Amino acid sequence: MDQVIHASRTYIGTPYKYGGTTRSGMDCSGLLMVSFKSIDMEIPRTSADQSKYGKGVRMEELQPGDLVFFAAGKSRRKITHVGLVTEVRGRKDVRFIHASTKLGVVENNLYSDYYKKIFVKARRPLW
């Protein structure tokens, strides 16, 4: 899993681009797809399909390598965003990497007010 996290971090600072999967532009599900490809693991392309991949994990049980899903649109149920857990520093400090539409590829705390509010679920990829 360290290799997937390392691969994703090499994209920090890459600008956001809808449908993007390269260093010139990346979207959230594309970031995870190319990061997992670094270990020859194929995961679905879209955040909605990725949200059905692996097994469910409770927020309190998150580990590096888990996928976290968000509903940032009008519907609180429709998955619109995904990130990859990179570090668990404490009970309320879980870092995840994602492609933000405004900031590009960045790491944030899952427990920040904004992300905690739009968090929907987490999945652990099956190895």
Active site residues: 28, 81, 98
Nearest to 80 by CA among 43, 28, 31: 28
Strands (DSSP E) along the chain, which ranges?
Answer: 21-22, 25-26, 55-57, 67-70, 81-90, 93-100, 104-109, 119-124
User: Are 31 and 96 a contacting pair, CB within 8 Å?
Assistant: no
Q: At which residue do the structure tokens 């652990």 appear?
A: 124
What's the CA dihedral at 120, 58, 114, 65 to 10 degrees? -100
User: What's the token pair of residue 54?
Assistant: 């692996």
Q: At which residue do the structure tokens 């469910």 appear?
A: 56
